[in-house]
Structure 1
Amino acid sequence: MSAAELAGELESSKTDIRKNTGSDAVSVVYPGGAYDNDSRDVVAKFFISARTSDDGYNQLAPADMHLLRSKTVAKYNLPYMNGWADEASEKGLWLIENLHLVGDSNPAGYSFYLSTDDFTDHLDYLDSSGLWIAPQGDVARYIVERENSVATLSFPVFKQDFFSITLTNNLDDSIFNMPLTLVVKLPSGWDTVQVSGRGVILPAKVSKGILYLEVVPNSGEILVERRDV
């Protein structure tokens, strides 16, 4: 397949997905794990990330978002699979799991089979780990936003009981609209705060003088007001 033919197929696929689901496809998997430099470059024009079948983990800011690695379920055992999540968590890595056939039986002896019960147990383990579990496309969007966004804090000159935060980037808001987690060290003595944006109270958490809140970039000014005085 030529580069032009591949581009045409990818473009028509994205159009069909949008037409039938109402959503934009932002990430892709190389069929059969096969790729080369030319196909990678074409894919990068249409998708923000692409997964290979190359074994391994990914850095939290991958060197190439279109050559993502994965861990493939084959001849598995549950402790081994659960260990992937443990290792990724301990080393601060991004784990993408690559599964094929999940079902109650495997009469054809397919090598990449995973039983429904074991799959459920594995999901329960992941759920109990406290890790963020999300589709590849959501994680990719989050990473691109995080690497390209700037948070600006503004304190008023004469009043010391509030400040504002703006989170901005130059990305396409129709695609890059994942909320980012902001971690802000509060001034001493600020034990309770109220966070609002566009006149709406926003959920936030304060722990040991640190404010945690979720903000969508380019969503306007966020106001943080001290409430313990």
Structure 2
Amino acid sequence: MTSKVGAVTVVGLMIACSAIAHGQVGRTEITKWQYGKSGAVSLTYDDGTINQFRVAVPIMDSFGFPATFFIITGNIPGSQYHGTFVGRPTKAIIEETASIPTNRDNFLERASAIPFLGDQGAIDYQTRAGEVYDEGKNVEQAYQLIDECYAKVRQGAFPRGEEHEASPASLNNITWEELRALSQRGYEFASHTVTHPRLAVLDDANLAYELEKSRQDILDHLGFKHTFSVECPYGTENERAVHSALLRYQVARNHMPDAFVDDLDRWNNMDPAASREEYVRWQRGPLTETPMGLMKSWVDKTAAQDNIWLVLVFHGVDGVGWKPKTGAELRDYFGYVKSKADRLWVATFQDVTKYMRERMHGQVFSYGEGDVISVVLRSDLTDVSYGLPLTLKTYVPSSWQTAEVRQGKRTNHVIVGRDNSMSYVLYQAVPNAEVVTLSAVAAETQQSQTK
């Protein structure tokens, strides 16, 4: 993909005697990060365990941080869609396994059916087969695990009972109503599928069910805004699974295919500072055993560069969930992130994604007329999901102390800054909306505002 952003076109500089017409005045660019920051940080949580909301949210509130929660929708009371096998009767599949070994033609169907056979313990075989198939790329071992599972089912070796969804005790009754209230406070909720399966070993029908029905419950309970992001369980990068997810969501935390991004997952040991791409999406997973010093070094590196998006992936909190961090550790860590507020933009996963894409698909033009600078911001992204305000940096006459920035009915007064002996203003504008106008605020107006 060819980037069009960063190349600023300044056209139509009118009235030669005006200060607007001299030097770099009027030159406008879209800053690499929101508010002109040096890097971005997203706090993300997987699985929706209760202490993410009871412990982590109040801590983030105290620092004014938003976050993104990837939720398993089938676990939430009131969800319409729960774990379901889409296919022929499981009894027929079980009978068939007695005479036909697992092979490439029947593997995905058999793996998909396992959680719905009515046998407690069988689901572990689906998880293990998915792990060796997806991560180890050992297809024959995956087939053997499926055969072993069905042999035990036929022999009655497993206790009877459904197990494809979490129990009420593990859910601890987080509700859609609570999530809706949090969404109104700026938190993002995103899909982690209906039941958290190994998507790489699901057949097409069941893969689509897990992704589509999770999205539908989020849409019904939280609204369209929260159908933007998805995380495929276990961080899979299986091509078929990720492709299916990206047909239904705008972005996956597993994989970001944009040509202008170096996408470094949690297991990638590459130094993000070595990347020469416009952006680096750097995922790190703070676990119980991860030293605080290492976690803070991730923040330091992000603040020291100008192209890193640090995506932090948390699971358990205060003893609940996988590899939990304590509330005290989160408070210490988030306080450290806050100490870098002059350089780091902390935002939801979807907002950082939108900003990068809108900037890379945007163009900005400016022109002067009299003592007014006009700025036009355009984007070729037509999907209704987009429209996040972008930060623009416009150079203004050195005589300006405060600028009035107007776009449509929105008006703000912005203090003029200095950059290499030049004056500029930073402000936000909405792409494909009204022309932005900048003008100096009269001295008497400034004085009246300070009284």
The two structures share one fold, judged by TM-score above 0.5: yes
1:97 aligns with 2:312: yes
> Which runs of 5 or more structure 1 residues have no equivalent in the other structure?
63-67
Residue 220 of structure 2 is aligned to residue 19 of structure 1: yes
Q: How far does the alpha carbon of each residue in 1:166-207 deviate from its partner, in whole angstroms, 9 at most, with x for none?
A: 211122463112111111112343333211121431253420
Distance 1:60 1:138, change over 3 A: farther
Given residue 433 of structure 2, which amino acid in structure 1 is its aligned partner? S
Give me the whole-angstrom Cα distance separating, in 2, the residues matched to 1:218 and 1:24: 23
Structure 1, residues 6-40: CA drift from partner, whole Å, max 9, x if none? 23432222221011012332111120112212222
Aligned match of 1:204? 414
SS at match of 2:248: coil
- The higher radius of gyration belongs to 2
Instruction: Tell me the TM-score normalised to structure 1 length.
Output: 0.84
- CA shift for structure 1 position 123: 0.9
5 Å-filtered alignment, 1:1-229, equals 1-22=202-223, 23-52=225-254, 54-56=266-268, 61=279, 69-74=282-287, 75-92=289-306, 93-103=308-318, 105=319, 112-130=323-341, 131-156=344-369, 159=370, 161-172=371-382, 174-208=384-418, 209-227=423-441
Distance 1:87 1:123, change over 3 A: same
User: What is the aligned-residue RMSD (CA, Å)?
Assistant: 2.4
Q: Which residue of 1 aligns with 2:85?
A: none
Partners of 1:144 and 1:4 lie apart in 2 by: 31
Higher relative contact order (CA 8 A, sep 6+): 2
Following TM superposition, by how much is the alpha carbon of 1:100 offset from its aligned partner in structure 2, in angstroms? 0.8
In 2, distance between residues paired with 1:202 and 1:173? 28
For 2:338 and 2:312, the matched residues in 1 are separated by: 14
- Tell me by how many angstroms 1:111 deviates: 6.5
Q: Contact 2:402–2:413 at 8 Å: present in 1 too?
A: no
Aligned partner letter, 1:9: E
Classify the secondary structure of the residue corresponding to 1:70.
strand
CA pair 49-37 structure 1, distance change in 2 beyond 3 A: same
Letter in 1 for 2:315: H
**In the aligned structure 2, how far is the partner of 1:206 from the partner of 1:4?**
57
Cα distance in 1 between the residues matched to 2:389 and 2:424: 18
Of stretches 195-204 and 145-154 in structure 1, the one that deviates more from structure 2 is 195-204
Rounded to whole Å, the distance in 2 between the matches of 1:17 and 1:31 is 17
> Counterpart of 1:76 in 2: which secondary structure?
coil
**Take 1:122 and 1:21, find their aligned partners in 2: how far apart are those partners?**
29
Question: C-alpha displacement at 1:83, in angstroms?
Answer: 1.1
Change (3 A) 1:198 1:32: same
Secondary structure of 1:35's aligned partner: coil
Q: CA deviation at 1:219?
A: 2.3
User: SS of the counterpart of 1:125?
Assistant: helix
- State the secondary structure of the residue aligned to 2:221: helix
- Cα distance in 2 for partners of 1:205, 1:169 equals 27
Distance in 2 (CA, whole Å) between partners of 1:183 and 1:192 is: 14
Separation of aligned partners in 2, 1:85 and 1:60: 19
Between the aligned partners of 2:215 and 2:238, the Cα distance in structure 1 is 21
**Identity, % of aligned pairs?**
24
